[in-house]
Amino acid sequence: MLEEWVGGIWHNFISQQANINYPEAIVYFDEVNYTAGIFFRALGGEAGLHVKSATDSDMNAKRSLLQRIAGSGNKVQYASRDEESLKLPDSIALFPTRQLNMDLYLWLTALSVVTIDEGDWISRNQYRTRKILALWPGLKSKYEHLLVAHLQQRPNPEDLSTGEAKQELAIRYALNNLTDKVTLEYAKRPPQPVTLWLHPAPSLLEREESKSVFDPDLADAVHTKKIDQQQKKRKKGLREDMPEGEGGLMSFRLESLWSWGEFSKLDRSTTDDDDDDSAMQTAEDMDSISVAQDNATTSSKIKLDLDLPSNDYDDIVLGEGLPIDEWDYKKRVMQKDHCRLITMAARDVEPMALPPRLKAQARKIRRQFEILRPQRHWLSRQTEGSELDLDNYIHFLADRKRGTVNSDMPVYRDIRNETRDLSCLLLADLSLSTDAHINNSARVIDVIRDALYLFAEALDVTGDRFALHGFSSRNRNHVRFHKIKDFDQDYNDDVRGYIEAVKPGYYTRMGAAIRHATHLLEQEKTSQKLLLIVTDGKPNDLDKYEGRYGIEDTRQAIIEAEKKGLQPFCVTIDEKAEEYLPYLFGKNAYIWIKKIEDLPLKLASLYLRLTH
């Protein structure tokens, strides 16, 4: 006990002495996340870029004796930018005041607005700094204060070895002289991080620093994406004997197993269904690449997709499939017929009545929506109509007797039918994530199913034209568009059977589904057309649709719908919706339902607000 107590005191003492930060002035990323996003876009940054916190990376620069004793100072969080996001440190406590630490967050955000792919790491940051100070001179005073504080924290060249001192002097010169080209020479260790600059991808920095050489030009290879599909990361190559498949069981103690790698008899020679960069990504993720020669002959090749059920059990395919365009934000082009959309209907559907658990809610909603039902009413003071308006006719006779009558005084009334000139298409996300449980008795898909029931009950009262569809996807060649109710189809027990049959599917290629829904809604002759999208997450799929590519394609599909006179609106239950939905739909065209179980009632109430 005494040894542990003394050891704890010693550890705390050394850690405090080795700490070169200012904990009392720390600023956390969560405090500036929202502000940084607004600041980034206000300076002209790409609206689709996501601001998020960085992760720890190894730092092999020279550490002080106390840091080595305490085992600290070997991790750093680099500020960096890639095609998907701007990464900022999880917290900053480098300077003695909170204002300076806050200003560093904003400065790094401003620096990331400028995009440049040419030059090395130093010259790019010099260019970014010059550009920002020229465009926004109001930031000059903040930058000068940050520069003075940062230079005071950098190591003294006199305390470094010859090579490291030359590197440090070169970086100091580059910070003070933004127009002069600076080149770093070889040194045993890399230099201390430059906290006022953006760094290349941390993974490559770690790879280069592990060689005890800092080469910014080589580090820029990943940053500029100019690797031409060549594998830069060296792998451990193993030549194995082809396994016979006759091995027995292996007995081991699980708690003592640190890692385990096994050679699998798997032919990876062809990946026809994958995009061109999938094989490269697979190789990048592997720690070792094993090769074996199989002397067995192959009499035939069978290709299976284990993720899709057989045709006998899958939903019914309606038609041969439709080609759908897709937006490539990197190339800024619309890829013609890039996706294939398959319209489907549930198999073995049986007509059914409204589930008893929803009847009370349905009665309440129907009473609320009866105010929207088309009604007949009389219009008074008409110049012509089906009968006299007695009140106005008496006024007419009195005025005529006094000699002040108007010859064109309206004395008729007419009956009119109020009609709602509106069509609505509800598009439900039926991806695999809807299979998640929200409690012990219900899943997300169950709540979506109830929402479809009550929504249809409400719109059936109003007489509005509406359609119900769902979607999921397997890849760009297999986007599933499920028919639940068409515009010309009556809401009845058959439709309720299709609602009951909805089930979780695969992934969420939202852009293709929105484009087809837009086409269906565009055929309607009504003046108001509402496209209502219900989802539980952001766009994603097996291929490169994950990330910003899917976000940008979905946004482009929404823009296309708006240009065609449609009114897209999104209802989501995703807790992270605030990060991407304002960019997709605009700040007033989406709503986040915090409690998933409230979705059925909230969806009907939302429709009432949007259309009344």
Residues 263, 294: Cα–Cα separation, whole Å: 13
Mean pLDDT along residues 589-607: 90
pLDDT at 102 over 80: yes
Alpha-carbon torsion (569, 570, 576, 579), positive or negative:
negative
Pick the CATH number of 322-369+420-611 from 3.30.430.20, 3.40.50.2000, 3.40.50.410, 3.30.70.360: 3.40.50.410
Would the CA dihedral through 536, 541, 547, 552 be positive or negative? negative
Residue spans of the domains in the chain: they are 2-223, 322-369+420-611, 376-417
pLDDT of 146 strictly over 90 = yes
Higher pLDDT, 232 or 591: 591
The per-residue pLDDT for 127 is 92
What is the arithmetic mean of pLDDT over 558-572? 95
Q: When comparing pLDDT for 497 and 245, which is higher?
A: 497
Q: Give every CB contact of residue 118 below 8 A, 6+ residues apart in sequence.
A: 124, 224
How far lies 401's CA from each of 188, 365, 393, 395, in Å? 112, 54, 12, 10
Which of 378, 383, 376, 374 is CA-nearest to residue 414? 378
- 123-139: b (≥16 Cβ within 10 Å) or e: bbbbbbbebbbeebeeb
Which has the higher per-residue pLDDT, 292 or 493? 493
The mean predicted confidence, pLDDT, of the chain is 79
Position 449 scores a pLDDT of: 95
Give the DSSP H/E element, type plus range, for residue 392: helix 390-402
Q: What Cα–Cα distance (Å) separates residue 350 from each residue in 344, 430, 480? A: 16, 20, 21
Q: Which pLDDT tens digit goes with each residue over 443-480?
A: 999 999 999 999 999 999 888 899 999 999 999 999 99
User: Is 436 strand, coil or helix?
Assistant: coil
SS (H, E, C) 56-119: CEECCCCCCHHHHHHCCCCEECCCEECCCEEEECCEECCCCCHHHHHHHHHHHHHHCCCCCCCC
Tens of pLDDT along 498-546? 999 999 999 999 999 999 999 999 999 998 999 999 999 889 998 889 8
- As a whole number, mean pLDDT of residues 166-186 equals 88
**pLDDT at residue number 271:** 43
Per-residue pLDDT, 215: 45
**Cβ atoms within 10 Å of 270's Cβ, excluding its own:** 10
**What is the rounded distance in angstroms from the CA atom of residue 388 to the CA atom of residue 378?**
11
| Better pLDDT: 77 or 425 | 425
Higher pLDDT, 121 or 383: 121
pLDDT in tens, 312-343: 778 899 888 999 999 999 889 999 999 999 99
556 pLDDT above the threshold of 90? yes
CA–CA separation, 603 vs 595, rounded Å? 12
362-412, pLDDT tens digit by residue? 999 888 887 766 555 556 767 677 777 777 777 777 777 777 766 667 767
Tell me the pLDDT tens digit for each residue of 30-86: 898 888 888 888 888 887 787 888 877 777 666 666 666 656 666 778 888 887 788
